[in-house]
Structure 1
Amino acid sequence: MDIVNKLKKELLKQAFTEEQKQTERLNECKHIASIYAQTENAIAVLSDMKANISYIYYGGVAEKLGLAERNTAKTIQSIWEEEIFSRIHPDDLQEKHLQELRFFHFLKSVPEKKRPDYYLIHNMRMRDHSGRYVHILHRMFYIASHSNGSVWLSLCLYNFSMDTSLSCTILNSADGQTLELEKQNCNDLLSDREKEILQLINKGKMSKDIAQTLSISINTVNRHRQNILEKLQVNNSIEACRIAKELHLL
């Protein structure tokens, strides 16, 4: 799934610096994740974007789903918890990654100190131990950033959902404000010229036609096309237009 590659690249390509008390802060966040798992019976996943490592803590939800025994934990060498992802309904998994990409870019516009106030919440379907899909509430927090603005630690929580009508929403836990994620876009992913070219591609225009329309060379058009594919992490123009529409770039 191309959106997966895009999200992973956005998270892992960030520039990280050596920070004072980094180990202390990591241990604090690991403790927070373990407490969530114990008190809410949640599956809590703390992901370290700098080290590309995840710390997973299992509560009663994990036992019910057949993933692990409650009050256990493990560490994996990836920010991608494939064992959990493999249980999520394919349609919901694609939506999850897309919304997380939107959320990541939304937080880039938020002052570092206020980022932990915001979290993403939405419903999804996951298979239990019998293969039956059950409703799960997923919450995602970016709970620590580096001084240069790079997002460092994320916390994902999985609980059984009591209200399946909840739509994908950003909540500010400090003031109760809610934001509709569909209205948050990723405009900074592409330059204005790249969006202009992609709009013409979406209309079926070839590079030669685009060059004439914009009064630029074909080489320039092709360079922009290649940049678009790389930024959206897709293999062709059809996929680029599809992902761009999902991200409200078209």
Structure 2
Amino acid sequence: MNAEKKQKIWEAHKRHIELLAKVNNSYVFVVEQHVKYLYLSDSYIRFFGYNPGALEFQNNEEIYFESRIHPEDLIALSNTQERLFEYLQTTQANKILEYKLVYEFRVLNSYNKYVRIVSQHQVLELDENGNPWLIMGIADLSPNTVPLDNIKIQVVNFITGETLPLNKFEEKELIEFTPREKEILLLIKSGMLSKEISNRLSVSIHTVNKHRQNIMQKMNADNIIEAIEYARKLGLLD
């Protein structure tokens, strides 16, 4: 799909999205998957206290908005959306445009106070390879007042009304460790260094470090500490 065709498709969606944002008090955004934000409603900008004119955030909207998500929730969210879209592509390839992912998590508002929001994400368009290209999000303040310990997730078919609940601990079905990876991760969690693990398991340090890299890749984690924390929250180390 060339740039001109993409622009025409986006412009067609943009008119409807701008109208939606005007008649709705929700916070609306659209992203070009893995590229950039294409649209931010005024209400979204106000709610998060984003100043698009600030030099440090020019063309870095993703960095800013990620910084507003509660750190514990960000670990899960950064891994979840792409994995769930991949899951839908595998199980519902012909119906992926009928589904939306519904998240409830904690964010900092413009007053730097953590509040709970419900954010609904749906694929508007696929690219030529059948991968999500345009994704729209609509967020609202959550009506729930009970303290939130984990993010909440649902997958909803908005045509049929079918709902597939996926709480945080069910995400582990999307991530699988080999027995050796789990063994090494538990040893790292206990405080052992690669050399110590190498001696303990009678394998090379290179092998241990290769398993570390595989673990971080599966968890989409920047470092092994983050991978351990996310695995713990998902119950993968039980």
Corresponding letter in the other structure for 2:156: L
How big is each residue's C-alpha offset from its partner over 1:43-88, in whole Å with a ceiling of 9 and x where there is no partner?
A: 22211126x12122324464456547xxxxxxx745x533433433
TM-score by length of 2: 0.70
Output the aligned Cα RMSD.
3.6
Q: Does the CA-based 8 Å contact 1:119-1:139 persist in structure 2?
A: yes
Please say if residues 123 and 138 of structure 1, whose CA atoms lie closer than 8 Å, have aligned partners that are also in contact.
yes
Structure 2 residue 18 is matched with structure 1 residue 34: yes
Counterpart position of 1:223: 210
| Alpha carbons 1:47, 1:154 under 8 Å: kept | yes
> Pick from 239, 243, 246: which aligns with 2:230?
243
Task: Render the CA deviation track for 1:20-52: whole Å, top value 9, x for unaligned.
Answer: 9433322233334323322222222211126x1
Tell me, which stretches of 5 or more residues in structure 1 are unaligned? 1-16, 69-75
- For 1:65 and 1:201, the matched residues in 2 are separated by 40
Which amino acid in the other structure matches residue 226 of structure 1? Q
- Tell me by how many angstroms 1:173 deviates: 0.8
Check whether the contact 2:29–2:40 (CA below 8 A) recurs between aligned residues: yes
Q: Number of matched residues? A: 218
In the alignment, does 2:139 pair up with 1:152? no
Q: 1:35 to 1:101 in 2, by over 3 A?
A: same
Distance 1:148 1:20, change over 3 A: farther
Normalised by the size of structure 1, how large is the TM-score?
A: 0.67
Residue 170 (structure 2) pairs with residue 179 (structure 1): no
Deviation (angstroms), 1:142: 2.2
**Amino acid corresponding to residue 200 of structure 1 in structure 2:** E
Match of 1:108 in 2: 89
What is aligned with 2:33?
A: 49
Cα 1:218/1:160, change in 2 over 3 Å: closer
Give the 3-state SS of the residue equivalent to 2:40 in structure 1: strand
User: Against the structure 1 CA distance between its residues 178 and 57, is the aligned structure 2 distance closer, same or farther, given a 3 Å change threshold?
Assistant: same
Paired residue type of 1:39: V
- CA–CA distance in structure 2, aligned partners of residues 18 and 248 of structure 1: 44
Q: Secondary structure at the match of 1:168?
A: strand
Task: Show structure 2 runs of 5+ residues with no match.
Answer: 52-57, 189-196
Residue 81 of structure 1: aligned partner = 62
Task: Give the distance between the partners of 1:211 and 1:236, measured in 2 at CA.
Answer: 24
1:131 to 104, 107, 112: 112
2:79–2:220: 8 Å Cα contact kept in structure 1?
A: no
User: CA separation of 1:221/1:162 partners in 2, compared to 1, >3 Å: closer, same or farther?
Assistant: closer
In the alignment, the residues of structure 2 paired with residue 34 and residue 113 of structure 1 have an alpha-carbon distance, to the nearest angstrom, of 28
> Are 1:24 and 2:11 an aligned pair?
no
Q: 1:201 Cα shift?
A: 1.0
- Indicate if the aligned counterparts of 2:219 and 2:230 stay in contact, CA closer than 8 A: yes
Structure with more relative contact order (C-alpha pairs < 8 Å, separation 6 or more): 1
Which residue of the other structure, out of 194, 201, 207, is the alignment partner of 2:198? 207
CA contact (8 A) 1:43 1:56 kept: no
